[in-house]
């Protein structure tokens, strides 16, 4: 029987064969008689070319896909990332080989936005320090007045980036009574107006925000965008939140700003090096809340991401343009269109 071969990186299952993320429902693929699932191992963190030879699509978690990963048989049509970050995929190489690089913005939009709001609430209410002094007994309780929280009404919440996630954060933040600002050169001005968001320059964003959330992809343009110079312009009472990618923030500069009282605190789900080493200096600071690039990891999040990847793969199998293509120019590539036409003929 003619089959559509879908590869999955093996970090989607544990050593005993059980699923790493049970809410990732593979049934629509497993139950399709025209789909063959294959598990592919990485070699030193990179998917080897031998693993993808003869495959039509790859659903990828953590390993990298480089130019050397792409088979010469021309069959591979899609690399679908489990999430919205794609810095582990060589998008240029995908485009050159008529392969769609796909992400799942709809699956992570609400869960990541919830994570950002979680940081805002935890930082403003001094949640972690209050948890700690409560556990100290009466002597800790006696310190309650030393750790007064901050109300949010009238505070300025800023987003560096107002894409899918940034816009959702603003929707969730609206009832808190904060002023909403953002910097994003690609922002939809009509949407910003609808959400009550003032679009400002990067200089004004850093100067005005009481809470500044980073929601931009990692690229050459955004690497260390949040640097010592920009941190120095922030309010000493301000908080930085990063749920995007660690290298967007100069971590050494951030440590110095936090340790030196340049800003009040931070909420970090991402780091320059991951996993963050135990001796990472920023982990020693008590004005930082840290999570292991997993704050948004919920059953809801992973079910949504998985469903989006599965839907994209099945769309391609049936000859349809999928949602979430990063290298959008591929949609007009004659080689890509020929792949879709062939899939439609065989499976449509």
Residues designated as active site: 245, 274, 293
Question: What backbone torsions phi and psi does residue 81 show, to the nearest 5 degrees?
Answer: -80, 140
| Contact status, residue 246 vs residue 85, Cβ threshold 8 Å | no
| Contact status, residue 344 vs residue 318, Cβ threshold 8 Å | yes
How many Cβ atoms sit within 10 Å of the Cβ of residue 38?
Answer: 13
Instruction: Compute the distance between CA of residue 296 and CA of residue 307 in angstroms, rounded to an integer.
Output: 16
| Helix axes 299-317 and 334-347, enclosed angle (nearest 10) | 90
Alpha-carbon distances, residue 42 vs 46, 150, 279, 283 (angstroms)? 5, 47, 28, 30
Q: What is the dihedral of CA 307, 309, 315, 318, to 10 degrees?
A: -100
Closest CA to 248 of 269, 272, 223: 223
């Amino acid at each position: 029987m003619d089959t559509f071969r879908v590869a999955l990186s093996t970090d989607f299952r544990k050593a005993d064969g059980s699923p790493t993320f049970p809410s990732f429902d593979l049934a629509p693929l497993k139950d399709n008689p025209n789909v063959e699932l294959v598990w592919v191992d990485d070699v030193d963190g990179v998917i080897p070319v031998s693993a993808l030879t003869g495959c039509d699509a790859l659903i990828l978690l953590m390993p990298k896909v480089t130019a050397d990963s792409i088979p010469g048989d021309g069959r591979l049509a899609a690399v679908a990332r489990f999430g919205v970050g794609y810095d582990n995929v060589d998008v240029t190489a995908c485009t050159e080989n008529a392969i769609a690089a796909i992400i799942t913005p709809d699956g992570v939009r609400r869960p990541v936005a919830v994570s950002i709001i979680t940081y805002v609430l935890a930082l403003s209410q001094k949640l972690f320090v209050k948890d700690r002094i409560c556990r100290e007994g009466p002597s800790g309780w006696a310190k309650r007045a030393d750790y007064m929280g901050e109300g949010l009404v009238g505070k300025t919440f800023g987003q560096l980036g107002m894409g899918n996630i940034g816009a959702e954060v603003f929707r969730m933040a609206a009832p808190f009574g904060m002023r909403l600002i953002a910097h994003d050169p690609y922002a939809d001005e009509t949407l910003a107006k609808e959400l009550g968001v003032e679009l400002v320059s990067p200089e004004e964003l850093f100067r005005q925000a009481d809470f500044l959330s980073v929601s931009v992809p990692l690229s050459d343009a955004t690497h260390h965008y949040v640097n010592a110079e920009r941190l120095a312009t922030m309010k000493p009472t301000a908080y930085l939140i990063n749920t995007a990618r660690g290298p967007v923030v100069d971590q050494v500069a951030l440590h110095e700003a936090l340790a030196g009282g340049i800003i009040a605190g931070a909420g970090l789900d991402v780091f320059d090096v991951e996993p963050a080493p135990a001796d990472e200096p920023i982990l020693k600071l008590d004005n930082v809340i840290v999570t292991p690039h997993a704050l948004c990891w919920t059953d809801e999040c992973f079910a949504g991401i998985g469903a989006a990847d599965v839907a994209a793969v099945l769309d391609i199998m049936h000859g349809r343009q999928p949602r979430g293509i990063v290298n959008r120019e591929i949609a007009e590539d004659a080689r890509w269109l020929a792949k879709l036409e062939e899939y439609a003929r065989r499976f449509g």
